[in-house]
């Protein structure tokens, strides 16, 4: 997905947050809410740019690990960043048995890569290198900041919409019967807004994953190691209780939401078999070189 299309989708996401304020204003007969939500939208984008990586890492209780604490992990990262010619990101460990990984940060100079304890146990060295190559490709491609901002914006929309829906159900509607139309329209917006936010995440994320697979497979010089890792991770996510939320699921290398969740209908990741197929084709090109 090119920069222009990503920018347009980010504008839509910001506009969606503002329309949530407009909808609430209709229901409660005040125009002030749209200005409040416009300020919130601007503030979220500004804060997300500078602090979104810290917010996401704290959300998952990620702890930075030193080379002394995790020497094998750092050796892999050192080798890959040298090949990719990017600054070395901070390295974090997430205290979870669910195997997964993600990268975050506003640019390559302020990046972080995080892996769970579960992925360290599940994958062998080559497979882990494939996963880290994928994540470092996200850093090199400069889409980590976009993905984190999307996570926070979408999460805020879902949270506000959820609070508003419950408010309508238990708190009633202000303004009497003559305002019933506006209140019902706002309630409809509260239902549609989270779905729209998820679809925007879906659009931004899928092509990023394919691109990171291709550049990650090239970076680790063994596309099939990444393919095997994806198959293992896809299988493991069905057996382990996941730590992710729908708003942040697109950050991870595989969709952390299992098929038991209705949110997989809006999966932010391409099907694993499609990703493996493309990596297999890439491996064949390596063999012919």
Where are the domains positioned within the chain?
A: 3-288
Q: What residues pair up with 115 in beta bridges, in sequence order?
A: 93, 101
Q: How far is CA 100 from CA 163, 194, 197, in A?
A: 30, 25, 23
Q: How far is CA 185 from CA 14, 84, 99, 173, 200, in A?
A: 20, 50, 42, 12, 22
Beta carbons within 8 Å of 198's beta carbon, 6+ residues apart = 154, 246, 263, 266
- Report the SS3 class of residue 79: helix
CA–CA dist 83, 80 (Å, integer): 5
Q: In this predicted model, which residue has the larger pLDDT, 106 or 47? A: 106
Residue with tokens 């890492």: 57
Q: What mean pLDDT value characterizes the chain?
A: 80
Beta carbons within 8 Å of 148's beta carbon, 6+ residues apart = 48, 52, 53, 55, 56, 104, 105, 106, 251
Query: What digits encode the pLDDT tens for the residues 237-247?
Result: 877 666 666 66
Please give the pLDDT value at position 100.
Answer: 94
Mean per-residue pLDDT for 201-222?
Answer: 88
The catalytic residues are 135
**Dihedral of CA 43/199/207/3: which sign?**
negative
CA–CA dist 22, 3 (Å, integer): 29
Please give the pLDDT value at position 242.
Answer: 63
Q: Which of 54-58, 87-91, 263-267 has the lowest mean pLDDT?
A: 263-267
Contact between 153 and 248 under an 8 Å Cβ cutoff? The reply is no
Query: What digits encode the pLDDT tens for the residues 73-110?
Result: 999 999 999 999 999 999 999 999 999 999 998 889 99
CA–CA dist 216, 159 (Å, integer): 34
Please give the pLDDT value at position 144.
Answer: 75
Q: Output the pTM of the full model.
A: 0.74
Count of alpha carbons within 13 angstroms of residue 237, beta-carbon side = 22
């Amino acid at each position: 997905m090119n920069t222009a299309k990503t920018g347009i989708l980010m504008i839509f996401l910001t506009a969606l947050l503002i329309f949530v304020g407009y909808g609430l204003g209709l229901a409660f007969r005040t125009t002030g809410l749209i200005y409040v939500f416009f300020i919130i939208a601007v503030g979220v984008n500004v804060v997300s740019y500078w602090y979104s990586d810290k917010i996401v890492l704290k959300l998952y209780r990620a702890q930075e690990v030193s080379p002394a604490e995790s020497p094998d992990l750092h050796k892999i990262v050192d080798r890959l960043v040298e090949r990719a010619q990017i600054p070395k990101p901070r390295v974090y460990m997430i205290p979870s048995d669910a195997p997964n990984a993600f990268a975050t940060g506003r640019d390559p100079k302020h990046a972080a890569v995080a892996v769970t304890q579960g992925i360290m146990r599940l994958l062998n060295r080559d497979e882990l290198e494939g996963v880290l190559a994928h994540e470092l490709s996200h850093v090199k491609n400069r889409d980590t900041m976009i993905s984190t901002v999307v996570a926070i914006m979408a999460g805020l929309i879902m949270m506000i919409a959820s609070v508003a829906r419950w408010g309508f159900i238990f708190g009633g509607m202000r303004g009497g019967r003559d305002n019933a139309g506006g209140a019902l329209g706002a309630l409809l917006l509260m239902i549609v807004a989270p779905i729209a936010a998820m679809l925007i995440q879906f659009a931004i994320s899928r092509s990023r994953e394919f691109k990171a697979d291709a550049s990650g497979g090239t970076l680790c010089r063994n596309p099939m190691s990444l393919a095997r890792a994806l198959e293992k991770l896809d299988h493991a996510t069905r057996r382990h209780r996941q730590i992710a939320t729908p708003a942040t699921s697109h950050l991870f290398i595989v969709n952390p939401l299992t098929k038991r969740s209705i949110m997989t209908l809006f999966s932010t990741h391409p099907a694993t078999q499609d990703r493996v197929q493309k990596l297999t084709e890439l491996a064949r090109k390596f063999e012919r070189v």
